[in-house]
Structure 1
Amino acid sequence: MSTTNGARPSRPPRATSPGIGVIGWSLARADLDQRLRNLWLRTLDRLGPGFDS
């Protein structure tokens, strides 16, 4: 895939969808478990890649 302005194309959706799926599953499970967050969510909390402003 080539671009005319030299910009790199964005990642294909299939490259990011497994990670997004795990996050969605983890959040749904945390809702059911009365906010008990699993290791994945605790790791993301420590790294801080959240979307809050």
Structure 2
Amino acid sequence: AEGSEAQDMCDTVTGQCACLAGYTGHRCDECADAYFTNGTSGCQACDCDSYGA
């Protein structure tokens, strides 16, 4: 997936991939907390107020 460190770095038993910063999920295909995506640029850090966002 886009957010995984490498296609072949997923655990062979669990399938969990090693995610890049800002990504989460089993296949690193979701943005982590405090990150967002506009659909084209991948997960970017959110500089917004965590209480008002």
Shorter-chain TM range is under 0.3
Q: TM-score, normalised by structure 1?
A: 0.23
Q: TM-score, normalised by structure 2?
A: 0.23
Query: More helix per residue: 1 or 2?
Result: 1
Larger Rg: 1 or 2?
A: 1
